[in-house]
Amino acid sequence: MKVSVIGAGFVGLTTALGLAEKGHDVVCVDVSEERVKQLNSGIVPFFEPDVEELLQRQLERGKFRATLETGLAISDTEMSIICVGTPSTDKGIDLGYVINAALDIGKYIQAGNFHVVVVKSTVVPGSVDSDIKSALEKSTGLVAGQDFGLAMNPEFLREGCAVNDFMDPDRIVIGADDEQSGKILERLYVDFDCPVIVTSTRNAEMIKYASNSVLATLISFANEIASICESVPGLSEEVVMNGLFEDRRFWCASDEGEYSRKRPELISYLRGGIGFGGSCFPKDVTALHRFANHAGHEAKMLQSVLEINYARSDAIIRRLENSMGESVSGKKIAVIGTAFKQDTDDLRESPAVRIIASLQTKGAEVMVHDPMVKEKSIQEAVGNVAFDVASSLEEALESAWGAIIATAWNDYKEADWPFLASKMKSAIIFDGRQVIPAEQQGKGFVLLKSGNADDFKAS
């Protein structure tokens, strides 16, 4: 099929390149002239594993190109996929970018040509069949479902492994309120081997929010348990959770109903840490909470999920101060890692950014290290907050009173922590990402483990 993708960000570019890899002819539309030039030159403007190799391969095959011209893209394709941002506001999500994309697409849809408009951007239930549909009908002067198609196709891409998630999805969700749109969108995914859920646009919209909200809930539940364990001597969240996971309902089961002790990947979300961040979980839980409130439902659990998450930053700093026996004010504290997770340079809603801001508010001298994220990006994320950036782990920890590991980069997992700790003034390290190997723990430094009230004393 010939497909246009509107938006060349993380979701849009991954989608465009993934479809090109599957043999479709794809043109990606973006408003940034610089980004379009970069893409047509084989340069990816953000870090995501495997995307650059995929881009260069599709350019060589002639299956992908980027453009600023929406009209040329729409007129030459059978389907347009909207992949633009839906940022949160005090009132809910901002549909402005999606509506503008729909209005722009609509100008070039011709009567007699059943062009299908697919929304992949994350939007709350009722957005596609109301505001977006109205914008398209206004722009085209045509009727959705009769003269042109309209569908919802949520994305389930995890940063750090987006290419694999697209090429080998666990499910594809197709939301369409008319049969023809759904059938055409099914053709797009005919070569994918996974369950395909065909439903209404509203159910498709809600599936995306439910998926992200349940994962965020698991993380906040684990952090609630971790906070309790941190408050009571002799308790360990790690031991408690490992005991929980021996319940056979946390094991994998075969089609015949036989259990094995192999643990599902979902369990990785049930570990105490520093909280969730990124472009999806905070925004989507917030959006669903506000959407529920507008619908007359209070959604207390979603509110608690958010409150627990944002409370972790200050709780971690208090833990560090308790171990030091004094305030962090006037002391060098190292924040090790700034990206919200490993294998991405995304700082959106990163717990590390919240920790940096809290440390600065408390008067600490903040030193930051990240092997991938640039200083300019960190400064933009934290705003008017003073900090220094180290070029190496050793420089970051030199003469530091304490350190907080906030991102699980492989560089950190492979580091010599006893050696690094020897460079510190007060060797107290809070491992918020289970980075430090067991054989190194406590060797020359005090290790504060998430969810453990007892320090691992230096030996």
Residues belonging to the active site: 280
What is the CA 212 to chain-centroid distance, rounded? 9
CA 20 from centroid of its chain's CA atoms: 23
Token code pair at residue 29? 């539309």
What is the tally of helices (H) and strands (E) in the chain? 17, 18
Residues in CB range of 438: below 8 A, 6 or more apart: none
| 393 and 422 Cβ atoms separated by less than 8 Å | no
β-sheet bridge partners, residue 367: 334, 388
Q: Give the Cα separation of 78 and 73 in Å (integer).
A: 10
What three-state secondary structure class fits 48? Answer: coil
Residues with Cβ < 8 Å from 56, sequence gap 6 or more?
A: 42
Q: Which residues of 167-193 are buried (b: 16+ CB within 10 A; e: fewer)?
A: eebeebbbbbbeeebbebbeebbeebe
Q: At 286, give phi and psi (nearest 5°).
A: -60, -45
End-to-end CA gap in the chain: 64
User: Is 223 within 8 Å of 308 (Cβ atoms)?
Assistant: yes
Report d(CA 451, CA 228) in Å as an integer.
8
Q: 304: exposed, middle or buried (C-beta count within 10 Å: 0-12, 13-18, 19+)?
A: middle
Q: How far apart are CA 105 and CA 82, in angstroms?
A: 9
Instruction: Compute the half-sphere exposure of residue 226: CA atoms within 13 Å on the CB side of its CA.
Output: 27
Alpha-carbon span 223 to 433, nearest angstrom: 12
